[in-house]
Structure formats: structure tokens, C-alpha cells
């Protein structure tokens, strides 16, 4: 099959995702990452729409992109306007790029009801705009907006739009499923009709409103499309755009199209998570190929089979896309999960011994009491170590007490009251018992402060550890305030992150268990931390 060009529109269409607002620096950094991935064309934005995109294209002049070409996006001239006086076209011409993409209507109803102009005038707008930009020495891609909807309603007009764009000098005719409502069979029929019409290369731009953007994109490629447009993680307005993090490996690994190199493909997971981080969005764990759960195995029979043959429950080698397999430990696990997980930690348990079975029984018992270890790997690793009779914990809890008191604020705010939390902790380190007291802006913060106060004199490097996330889940809502609660903590030393879990009918005790595990885990990794 012929090669396929990858066209990324994360910086424009992806930026239209609810909750995303890229800065100019964000966009420049993402562009560098897209170049590392081997994207052929990076759509940087719409320089005629707002100052931020104008600034981006100015700053992008200093970008070094060995692999990618930057593209500026805009629309055709307005009805009745002159190309020389059209501000949007002037902005495209002065954006400092070699390639531009312009969007025009290819649906009769969109022309008459939205543009409120004639079908002939729309054709003139397309031809004039492409012709004008070609006179400026630019390569022009034409986005045929609403093409598939227009083709279903009036195929002759939608195809005529493509003819006019091709005659005007467009280098690629991009067929857009703008409303995201087409089925793969409809995509195939329309692409084949366009392919019979012209020899100009075709592209596909699919939206995901029917959860079919990836399927529609692949169907279009099979029908003869050679340019694929999409976004990282499928970001985009409404339900998003076609997800390049699925499309790229599908093209390369399933369809045999070398759109990127093996080395570039291996960066896919890292780049997906990088863009999520810059977007300030939590990565979707269930995303195919790049999600943290994409190769996570929970059922005991699956993990047992994977230990014998990695292809038994994985459709590809996760390394190829920069991901890795994980064995989850839960009440649904078998002994093989315990052995697999322990091996990941560098701890070899005898497969025929009692240790793994005892650990499995303990996990099942604790999960019946509200603990959950799927997302608390650090707490599970401590379970494995504690099962070893030679394990010596870096500290042991003797007891703790937390007092919460309501106090009056200063007279200037005499009608308001504040809460004061004070924690008293006794811990044993070696043969020594330390008794400390600390205040905090909440009971968990006070416990954390008191525990650290006790331990820092023995383990000063603990100062690096910070609590970065704290989640509480009520497990039995019908019981009201007597419900079992689960606390999940995420901690970091600035380099690594780890999660711990605690569960109890007392939220303070559940928090303490997760907190103590967090510090003990880090000290274990530091071999005592002294």
C-alpha cells in the first residue's frame, strides 16, 4: 500500500477541547514533540483569528523541526469579497510557512443556509482563495468541510467543489466528516467517488461524534486516501477528532504502512502523556495502545497465560508503542498475578511454595475490608516485604491521637471561626520511641507533620517526599457516617511517584495507614534513607 502522510491538528482543533487552553510556549513545545513522533504536517493554528496564533507563527520561525512542516489554517474569502482585501488570506500569506490549509463549504445546505450565498459564489470563493495563495508560492491543502453530509444530500455539488479546488491548484483535497455522523461504509463510497473524479491526492478529517473517527479514517485509507488528519489523544471539539495515537499504530502495525519509523513509534506513549500533561488533562487509562490500562491484566487466568506466552492476551508487543504490560492484584487475581507482580519488583517468590498463596489470601481478605491494590502498587509491595519474616520496617507505629478544635478568629473577624488540628504521634525507630506533636490545617496534615517531625531526625532525606494527591471514597453509602472509606494517596520525591492505600470506618485511621505506607515505601527504596 502507498505511503500515508500524517497531519496533526492538535494545536488548533485539539485546542478547541473543553478545558484546554494552550499558551504559545505550550504550542511550541508540543510542536517539537510532534516532530519527534514523525508527523509530516503540524497545523499550528489560525493566524487570522486571534493574536496568540499570530505570535505562535512568529515564534515558530526559530523552531528547528527536522521532520515536520508547519501549516497555517484559515478559510476562503468571504462572499462578495476581494482576495486582495481579505484579512484572513493576507494573514495566511504572511504566516511564514510553506504550506497552508483553507476550509470551504462542500455541502449545498451549508452554503445556502449557513453562508447564505449561492452555490456558484461558493465555488468562486474556493477557486479565488486557492488561486491567490498559489500565486504567493504556497502549497495549499483544501479542507472540504461537511463533505460526507453534503455528498449524501447532493453528491454532484460536493464533487464539483472538489473539481474546482483541484483546478485552482490544491495539492490535497481533504474530505471532512465535520459532524462526525458518518458510517465507515458511507466514508468508503464517498472516497471512491472522489477518487474516480480526480488524481489530486485525497485526505480524511474525521470527528468522533459517533465513536467512529478512527474506523472512518482507516476505511478512507483503504479506499485510497493518502493524507490522514487527527489529533493526539483524539482531543477536539465536542467528542473529539480522530485519535492519532490509535491511527498511527493501526496504520503501521495492522495495515503495514510505514508512516513512522520504529523508533518514532516507540515514543508514542510518552508523547501522548506529555500532551495530556501540557493540556492539564488526566490521561485516559483505557486508551488503546498508550493508556496505562492498555496492557494491564487482572484476571488470574490471563496472567498465567501471559507468563507462558506474551501474545496470549496482548495483540501487540507493548514495547513497540513505548508502553509496558502490568499485572493487577485484586480479589479476582490468581497466584500467578502475585508471582508476576513480585517479579516486577525484583522479588522472586517460589512458584510452588506457600508464600504466594498466603499473599493472595491476604489480598483477598484486605480487599473485603475495603483495601484495593490495583492503583496502590507501593502498598502491595510493602505487603510482599512484610510477608518475609526477616523484614525489619524502618519505623513502627505505637499510637497516635488527633484533636480537632474550633477557635475564634481575631476580633476583626469575630463572627468567623477557624478549625485547628493537632496530632500526637508515638513511633518506634529501632529501640527508641519518639513522641511528637504538630499542628496542621486539617487532621491528615497534622498527622503528616507529626510523623515527619519524629522521623526526620533519623531519616533527614524524607524532607524530599511530598503528598501530591489525596482521594477519599465512601464504600458503603447506605451506612451513612459509619461507612467504610478508602483513602488513596499519591506521593512524590520530585522524581518518582507512588500510590498507597488505607481503609477503615474511621477516615483518620484510613489516612494514617496510607500515609505510613507512603513514607515506609520510600524509606525502603532508599534502603533506610540514612
**What pLDDT shows up at residue 165?**
98
| pLDDT confidence tier of residue 411, bands split at 50, 70 and 90 | low
If asked whether residues 102 and 193 sit together in one domain, one would say yes
Q: Does a structural domain hold residue 379?
A: no
Annotate 128-152 with DSSP letters as a single string: HHHHHHHHTT-EEEEEEETHHHHHH
Please tell me which residue, 516 or 335, carries the higher pLDDT value.
516
Looking at 458, 477, 498, which one is the last position of a domain?
458
**Nearest one of 264, 220, 261, 224 to 242, comparing CA atoms:** 220
Residues 342 and 422 in one domain: no
| CB count in 10 Å sphere of residue 383 | 18
pLDDT of res. 140: 98
Does residue 270 form part of some domain? yes
What was the pLDDT predicted at 395? 94
Q: What are the angstrom distances between the C-alpha of 229 and each of 23, 217, 247? A: 22, 8, 10
Question: Using 50, 70 and 90 to split pLDDT, how confident is the model at 529?
Answer: very low
Q: Is residue 289 part of a domain?
A: no
251 and 186: one domain?
yes
Residue that the C-alpha cell 474516480 belongs to: 196
**Of 353-357, 436-440, 463-467, 493-497, the least confident:** 353-357
Which pTM was predicted?
Answer: 0.75
**Which of 48-52, 161-165, 194-198, 311-315 is least confident?**
48-52
Q: What residue numbers bound the domain in which 332 lies?
A: 296-368
Q: Specify whether 429 is located in the same domain as 492.
A: no
335, pLDDT greater than 60: no
> In the prediction, which pLDDT does 264 show?
98
HSE toward the beta carbon, residue 386, CA cutoff 13 A: 16
Same domain, 166 and 215: yes
Strand 485-492 with 497-504, pairing: antiparallel
Name the residue with higher pLDDT: 330 or 298.
Answer: 298
Specify whether the CB–CB gap between 219 and 190 falls below 8 A: no
Residues 57-107: pLDDT tens digits?
Answer: 999 999 999 999 999 999 999 999 999 999 999 999 999 999 999 999 999
Other Cβ atoms closer than 10 A to 211: 10
**Rounded CA gap, 173 and 162, in Å?**
7
Instruction: Indicate if the pLDDT at residue 6 is higher than 90.
Output: yes
Domain boundary, last residue among 425, 458, 491? 458
CATH of the domain at 493: 3.30.160.340
> How many CA within 13 A on the CB side of residue 132?
25
3-state secondary structure of 10: coil
| Spacing of C-alpha 455 from chain mean position | 37
CA distance 335 to 356: 6
Q: Which of 135, 148, 136, 262 is nearest to 213 (CA)?
A: 148
CATH at 45: 3.20.20.70
Structural domains of the chain, count: 4
- CATH number of the domain where residue 448 is located: 3.30.160
Final residue before a domain boundary, out of 279, 310, 329: 279
Is residue 388 a part of any domain in this protein? no
Least trusted range by pLDDT, from 79-88, 107-116, 304-313, 420-429: 304-313
Is residue 338 located within the same domain as residue 209? no
pLDDT in tens, 160-218: 999 999 999 999 999 999 999 999 999 999 999 999 999 999 999 999 999 999 999 99
- Residues 97, 19, single domain; the answer is yes
Q: Would you say residue 373 lies in a domain?
A: no
Helix (H/G/I), strand (E/B), else coil: 83: helix
Distance CA 249, CA 37 (A): 12
For range 465-474, the mean pLDDT: 87
Q: pLDDT band at residue 229, thresholds of 50, 70 and 90?
A: very high
Task: Return phi, psi of residue 330, to 5°.
Answer: -160, -175
Nearest 5 degrees, angle CA 256-CA 260-CA 264?
Answer: 130
Q: How far is CA 11 from the centre of its chain?
A: 15
Instruction: Write down the mean pLDDT value for the chain.
Output: 89
Amino acid at each position: 500500500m502507498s505511503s500515508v502522510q500524517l497531519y496533526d491538528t492538535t494545536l488548533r482543533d485539539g485546542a478547541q477541547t473543553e478545558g484546554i487552553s494552550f499558551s504559545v510556549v505550550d504550542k511550541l513545545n508540543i510542536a517539537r514533540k510532534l516532530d519527534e513522533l514523525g508527523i509530516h504536517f503540524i497545523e499550528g493554528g489560525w493566524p487570522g483569528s486571534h493574536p496568540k496564533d499570530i505570535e505562535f507563527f512568529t515564534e515558530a520561525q526559530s523552531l528547528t523541526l527536522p521532520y515536520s512542516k508547519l501549516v497555517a489554517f484559515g478559510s476562503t474569502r468571504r462572499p462578495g469579497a476581494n482576495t486582495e482585501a481579505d484579512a484572513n488570506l493576507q494573514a495566511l500569506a504572511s504566516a511564514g510557512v510553506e504550506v497552508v490549509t483553507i476550509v470551504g463549504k462542500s455541502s449545498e445546505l451549508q452554503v445556502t443556509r449557513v453562508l447564505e450565498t449561492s452555490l456558484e459564489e461558493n465555488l468562486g470563493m474556493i477557486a479565488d482563495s486557492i488561486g491567490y495563495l498559489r500565486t504567493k508560492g504556497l502549497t495549499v491543502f483544501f479542507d472540504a468541510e461537511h463533505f460526507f453530509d453534503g455528498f449524501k444530500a447532493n453528491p454532484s455539488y460536493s464533487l464539483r467543489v472538489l473539481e474546482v479546488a483541484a483546478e485552482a491548484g490544491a495539492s490535497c483535497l481533504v474530505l471532512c466528516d465535520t459532524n462526525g455522523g458518518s458510517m465507515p461504509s458511507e466514508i468508503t463510497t464517498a472516497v471512491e467517488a472522489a477518487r474516480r473524479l480526480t488524481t489530486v491526492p485525497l485526505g480524511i478529517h474525521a470527528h468522533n461524534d459517533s465513536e467512529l473517527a478512527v474506523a472512518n479514517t482507516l476505511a478512507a485509507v483503504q479506499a485510497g486516501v493518502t493524507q490522514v488528519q487527527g489529533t493526539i489523544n483524539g482531543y477536539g471539539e465536542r467528542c473529539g477528532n480522530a485519535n492519532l495515537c490509535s491511527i498511527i499504530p493501526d496504520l503501521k502495525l495492522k495495515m503495514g504502512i510505514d508512516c513512522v519509523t520504529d523508533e518514532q513509534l516507540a515514543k508514542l506513549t510518552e508523547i501522548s502523556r506529555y500532551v495530556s500533561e501540557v493540556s492539564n488533562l488526566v490521561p485516559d487509562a483505557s486508551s488503546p495502545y498508550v493508556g496505562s490500562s492498555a496492557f494491564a491484566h487482572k484476571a488470574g487466568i490471563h496472567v498465567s497465560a501471559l507468563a507462558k506466552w506474551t501474545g496470549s492476551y496482548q495483540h501487540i508487543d507493548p514495547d513497540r508503542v513505548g508502553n509496558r504490560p502490568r499485572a493487577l492484584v485484586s480479589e479476582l487475581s490468581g497466584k500467578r498475578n502475585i508471582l508476576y507482580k513480585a517479579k516486577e519488583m525484583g522479588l522472586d517468590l517460589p512458584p510452588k511454595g506457600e508464600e504466594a498463596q498466603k499473599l493472595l489470601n491476604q489480598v483477598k481478605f484486605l480487599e473485603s475490608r475495603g483495601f484495593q491494590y490495583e492503583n496502590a502498587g507501593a502498598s502491595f509491595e510493602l505487603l510482599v516485604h512484610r510477608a518475609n519474616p526477616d523484614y525489619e520496617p524502618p519505623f513502627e507505629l505505637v499510637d497516635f491521637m488527633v484533636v480537632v478544635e474550633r477557635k475564634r478568629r481575631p476580633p476583626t473577624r469575630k463572627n468567623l471561626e477557624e478549625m485547628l488540628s493537632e496530632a500526637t504521634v508515638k513511633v518506634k525507630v529501632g529501640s527508641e520511641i519518639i513522641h511528637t506533636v504538630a499542628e496542621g490545617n486539617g487532621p491528615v496534615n497534622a498527622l503528616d507533620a507529626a510523623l515527619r517531625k519524629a522521623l526526620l531526625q533519623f531519616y533527614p532525606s524524607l524532607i524530599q517526599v511530598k503528598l501530591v494527591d489525596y482521594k477519599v471514597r465512601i464504600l458503603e453509602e447506605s451506612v451513612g457516617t459509619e461507612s467504610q472509606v478508602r483513602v488513596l494517596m499519591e506521593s512524590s520525591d520530585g522524581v518518582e511517584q507512588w500510590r498507597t492505600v488505607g481503609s477503615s470506618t474511621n477516615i483518620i485511621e484510613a489516612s494514617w495507614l496510607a500515609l505510613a505506607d507512603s513514607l515506609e515505601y520510600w524509606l525502603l527504596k532508599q534502603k533506610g534513607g540514612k
